[in-house]
C-alpha cells in the first residue's frame, strides 16, 4: 500500500505547528512551541487499514500532535498548517463538524482509563451514550449493542458488567471498556495514546491482540502513541520518531528498527533494557548521540557472602469485606511469602496486576497491617514493634512509589520536601545542616542544587522521581522498596533512573526490593527474582535462571508476553 496514493490516504498532516500562548511580557505575546520548531514543521500520513506509531520521549510532542487532529487541546493552543481528513482540512472545520467527527469517524483511547471513564455512570450508560448520540439508536437497541460490544472486547459476563461502575473493574477491563466505547460507532481511525503503559505484560498483550483483531475485522486505521519501542515494533506498519516537537525519522517499521538512520532513533533503541543481553549500565540518550560509551567505572561486583539485612517468613495479608447484612468474605491478597534480602543486593518481584506484589511491599512497611508472618530486620520482628519503636525503625526502610506526580506535596518546595523527614526524625544538628544535606542529595541524584527552591510542578516525571529518591535518602535508609518506580517513565529517563539506583546501591550499600511488571527492567537491576501469582510466590531464583530456565508455565507466559519488537512480528506464525 503506497503512502503516496492520495485516494487511499485517510489522514494527512501537513506542515503542522502547535504553540501555546503563555501571556504577554512587555506587550509581546509569549508562545511556547510544542510541535514544529522554527522553520521545521510536522508532516506525515496515515493510510487506510494501517497502523502508524508516533514514538519519542515525554515532551516530544506526540500527544499534542495527536490531540491536534480533533482539537482536543487547551484554549491557549494555536495551530497552523493542514490536517486533511479524507481531503477536508480539520483546522478549518467548525466546532459542530468536529463534534460530529469525534467518536463517529475518529475515536480516541487514552492512557488512564480510570480518568477517562465517568465514575458516577455505569458502564452500560457510558457505552450507550455515543450510540444514541451519533447513531440515533433507541435505548433498547443501544443497550443490546453495548452488551455485544463488551462481549466482542472479551469482558466476561457482559450483561452483568453493563450495571457495574468503573471502579468495580480491573485496569485491563477498564481499558477494554474504553476500546469498546471507541469502536461503538465503527470509526475509521482510532487514536490510541499510550493505551497499555500502566498495564502488566500479559494484559498488555491481550489488549494489543484485541486491537489487532478488531482492526482486521473492522478495517480501521490506528495512530498508536507509545514510548515502548518493543511494542511499537510488533504492531506498527509505519513509525514516526519525534523529539522536541520535530520529526527525526520516519519509515517502515522493519527499516526503523533494523537500520535506524538518525542518531536519536539509534539512542532510543540502545537505552532500552533487553531480555537478550544484560549490560552493567544502560546507555542514555545524550551519551549515545555524543558517541560516549556507558560509564562502567562505578560498577562494583556483588558480594555473594553479604549479610542478610531483611528476612521475611510466612508473610500473609487478608482483607475482609461485608457480604449481606451479617456475612463477611475474606480475600487473601498475600499468602505465605518467604525470602531473604542481602546487603547491597536487589530482589525483583514480578507478576500480573492483582498478583499481590504491591500489597506484599506495603505490608513489609506496615502500610498494610499484616495478618500473620514475620519480617526480621536487625534482629527484630518489624511486625511486632510498638508504635514508638516502629517510628525509629521506619527511617531505615523507605519506599519509592510508582507515581512521582502524586508522591510529592504540591505546596512544598523540593527543599521543604527533603527537610521535613529529617526534622521529624531529628537528623542534623541545625536547620542549616539539614539544608546543606538536602542540597548535596539533590546533586547526588543528578539534579542541580537550584532545584531546592522550586515546586514539583516545575519538574518532569523523571526529575520528580529523582526528588522522591533523594527524599528517601535523607534518612540514611538501608532498604528501599521500589514499587513500579520507573514504569511511568519513558525509556531514556528510565535508563537514567535505573543507572542512578545502581550507583547509589554501589556507593551506599543499599538493598532494594524492586517491584515491577517489566521483566527486562527486573533482569537489569535484580540479583534474585520472586514470581508472584494470586498472592503466592510460585517461583524464586536468580534473574538469569528465571529468564532462561523458568520452571512454571505462569513464568513462561509472563516472559512470552514481553514485546520482542519487529523481528517477533516478522517471524510470528500466520494465524
Please name the residues in contact with 279: beta carbons below 8 A apart, sequence gap of 6 or more.
Answer: 294, 524
Buried b (16+ CB within 10 A) or exposed e, 531-570: bbbebbbbbbbebeebbeebeeebbeebbebbbbbbeebe
Are 272 and 563 in contact by the 8 Å Cβ rule? The answer is no
Cell representation of residue 142:
443501544
Q: Are strands 51-55 and 238-243 parallel, antiparallel or unpaired?
A: parallel
Please name the residues in contact with 337: beta carbons below 8 A apart, sequence gap of 6 or more.
Answer: 312, 314, 315, 316, 360, 373, 530, 532, 536, 537
Are 445 and 470 in contact by the 8 Å Cβ rule? The answer is yes
- Predicted confidence at residue 527, as pLDDT, reads 93
Burial of 488 (0-12, 13-18, 19+ CB in 10 A): buried
Cell representation of residue 410:
504540591
Q: Report the greatest alpha carbon distance in the chain.
A: 74
CB half-sphere exposure, 319, CA atoms < 13 A: 10
Looking at beta carbons, which pairs linking 464-468 to residues 24 or more positions away fall under 8 Å? 464/404, 464/405, 464/407, 464/408, 465/400, 465/404, 465/489, 465/493, 465/497, 466/497, 466/500, 467/404, 467/408, 467/414, 467/417, 467/418, 467/442, 468/400, 468/401, 468/404, 468/407, 468/408
Cell representation of residue 493:
529517563
376 CB neighbour count, 10 Å cutoff: 16
pLDDT one digit per residue (tens) for the chain, 575 residues: 444 444 468 999 999 999 998 888 777 878 888 888 888 999 999 999 999 999 988 778 898 999 999 999 988 999 999 999 998 999 999 999 998 898 889 999 887 777 788 999 999 999 999 999 888 999 999 999 999 999 888 888 899 899 999 888 876 788 888 888 988 888 999 999 888 766 677 777 877 888 888 888 888 999 999 877 778 888 899 999 999 899 999 999 989 988 999 999 888 888 888 777 778 888 888 777 877 776 665 666 788 889 999 999 999 999 887 877 778 888 898 999 999 999 999 999 998 877 889 899 999 999 999 999 999 998 899 988 888 888 888 889 999 887 777 788 999 999 999 999 999 988 988 999 999 999 999 988 888 878 899 998 888 777 888 898 999 989 989 999 998 888 767 777 788 888 888 988 998 899 999 998 888 889 999 999 999 998 999 999 998 899 889 999 999 988 888 776 655 444 443 33
> What's the rounded Cα separation, in Å, for the pair 34 and 60?
8
> What's the gap between Cα 466 and its chain centre?
16
CB half-sphere exposure, 191, CA atoms < 13 A: 23
- Predicted confidence at residue 208, as pLDDT, reads 83
Looking at beta carbons, which pairs linking 17-24 to residues 24 or more positions away fall under 8 Å? 17/41, 17/42, 17/79, 17/80, 17/81, 18/61, 18/64, 18/65, 18/68, 18/73, 18/77, 18/78, 18/79, 18/245, 19/77, 19/78, 20/74, 20/76, 20/77, 20/78, 21/76, 21/77, 21/78, 22/76
Are 562 and 547 in contact by the 8 Å Cβ rule? The answer is no
For each of the domains in the chain, give its residue range(s) and CATH number, in order of start: 308-569 (3.40.50.300)
148 CB neighbour count, 10 Å cutoff: 13
Are 452 and 414 in contact by the 8 Å Cβ rule? The answer is yes
- Predicted confidence at residue 571, as pLDDT, reads 43
pLDDT in tens, 197-218: 666 777 778 778 888 888 888 8
Cell representation of residue 520:
527486562
In angstroms, the first-to-last Cα distance of the chain is 21
Place of cell 493552543: 77
Tell me the sheet residues that pair with 54: 225, 240
Amino acid at each position: 500500500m503506497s503512502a503516496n496514493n492520495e485516494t487511499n490516504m485517510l489522514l494527512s498532516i501537513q506542515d503542522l505547528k502547535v504553540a501555546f500562548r503563555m501571556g504577554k511580557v512587555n506587550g509581546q505575546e509569549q508562545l511556547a512551541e510544542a510541535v514544529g520548531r522554527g522553520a521545521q514543521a510536522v508532516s506525515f500520513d496515515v493510510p487506510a487499514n494501517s497502523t502508524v506509531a508516533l514514538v519519542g520521549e515525554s515532551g516530544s510532542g506526540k500527544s499534542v500532535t495527536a490531540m491536534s487532529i480533533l482539537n482536543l487541546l487547551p484554549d491557549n493552543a494555536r495551530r497552523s498548517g493542514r490536517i486533511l481528513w479524507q481531503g477536508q482540512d480539520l483546522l478549518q472545520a467548525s466546532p459542530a463538524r468536529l463534534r460530529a467527527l469525534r467518536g463517529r469517524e475518529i475515536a480516541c483511547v487514552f492512557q488512564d482509563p480510570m480518568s477517562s471513564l465517568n465514575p458516577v455512570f455505569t458502564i452500560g450508560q457510558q457505552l450507550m451514550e455515543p450510540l444514541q448520540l451519533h447513531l440515533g439508536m433507541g435505548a433498547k437497541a443501544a443497550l443490546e449493542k453495548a452488551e455485544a460490544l463488551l462481549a466482542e472486547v472479551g469482558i466476561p459476563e457482559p450483561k452483568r458488567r453493563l450495571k457495574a461502575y468503573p471502579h468495580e473493574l480491573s485496569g485491563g477491563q477498564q481499558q477494554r471498556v474504553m476500546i469498546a466505547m471507541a469502536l461503538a460507532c465503527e470509526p475509521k481511525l482510532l487514536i490510541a495514546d499510550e493505551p497499555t503503559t500502566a498495564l502488566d505484560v500479559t494484559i498488555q498483550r491481550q489488549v494489543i491482540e484485541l486491537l489487532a483483531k478488531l482492526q482486521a475485522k473492522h478495517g480501521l486505521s490506528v495512530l498508536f502513541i507509545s514510548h515502548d519501542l518493543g511494542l511499537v515494533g510488533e504492531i506498527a506498519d509505519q513509525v514516526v520518531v519525534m523529539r522536541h516537537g520535530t520529526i527525526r525519522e520516519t519509515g517502515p517499521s522493519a527499516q526503523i528498527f533494523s537500520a535506524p538512520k538518525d542518531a536519536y532513533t539509534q539512542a532510543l533503541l540502545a537505552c532500552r533494557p533487553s531480555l537478550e543481553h544484560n549490560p552493567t549500565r544502560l546507555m542514555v540518550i545524550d551519551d549515545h548521540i555524543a558517541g560516549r560509551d556507558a560509564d562502567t567505572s562505578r560498577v562494583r561486583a556483588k558480594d555473594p557472602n553479604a549479610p542478610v539485612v531483611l528476612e521475611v517468613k510466612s508473610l500473609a495479608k487478608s482483607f475482609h469485606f461485608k457480604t449481606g447484612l451479617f456475612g463477611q468474605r475474606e480475600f487473601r491478597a498475600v499468602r505465605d511469602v518467604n525470602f531473604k534480602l542481602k546487603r547491597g543486593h536487589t530482589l525483583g518481584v514480578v507478576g500480573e496486576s492483582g498478583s499481590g506484589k504491591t500489597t506484599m511491599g506495603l505490608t513489609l512497611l506496615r502500610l498494610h497491617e499484616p495478618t500473620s508472618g514475620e519480617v526480621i530486620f536487625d534482629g527484630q520482628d518489624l511486625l511486632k514493634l510498638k508504635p514508638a519503636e516502629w517510628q525509629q525503625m521506619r527511617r531505615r526502610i523507605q519506599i519509592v512509589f510508582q507515581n512521582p506526580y502524586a508522591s510529592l506535596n504540591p505546596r512544598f518546595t523540593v527543599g521543604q520536601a527533603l527537610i521535613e523527614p529529617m526534622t521529624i526524625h531529628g537528623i542534623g544538628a541545625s536547620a542549616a545542616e539539614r539544608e546543606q544535606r538536602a542540597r548535596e542529595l539533590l546533586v547526588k541524584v543528578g539534579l542541580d542544587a537550584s532545584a531546592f527552591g522550586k515546586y514539583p510542578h516545575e519538574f518532569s516525571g523523571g526529575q520528580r522521581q529523582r526528588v522522591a529518591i533523594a527524599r528517601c535518602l535523607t534518612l540514611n535508609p538501608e532498604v528501599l522498596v521500589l514499587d513500579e518506580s520507573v514504569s511511568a517513565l519513558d525509556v531514556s529517563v528510565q535508563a537514567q533512573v535505573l543507572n542512578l539506583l545502581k550507583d547509589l546501591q554501589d556507593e551506599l550499600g543499599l538493598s532494594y526490593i524492586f517491584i515491577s511488571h517489566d521483566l527486562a527492567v527486573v533482569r537489569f537491576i535484580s540479583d534474585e527474582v520472586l514470581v508472584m501469582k494470586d498472592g503466592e510466590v510460585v517461583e524464586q531464583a536468580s534473574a538469569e535462571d528465571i529468564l532462561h530456565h523458568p520452571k512454571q508455565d505462569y513464568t513462561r507466559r509472563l516472559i512470552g508476553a514481553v514485546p520482542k519488537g519487529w523481528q517477533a512480528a516478522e517471524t510470528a506464525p500466520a494465524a
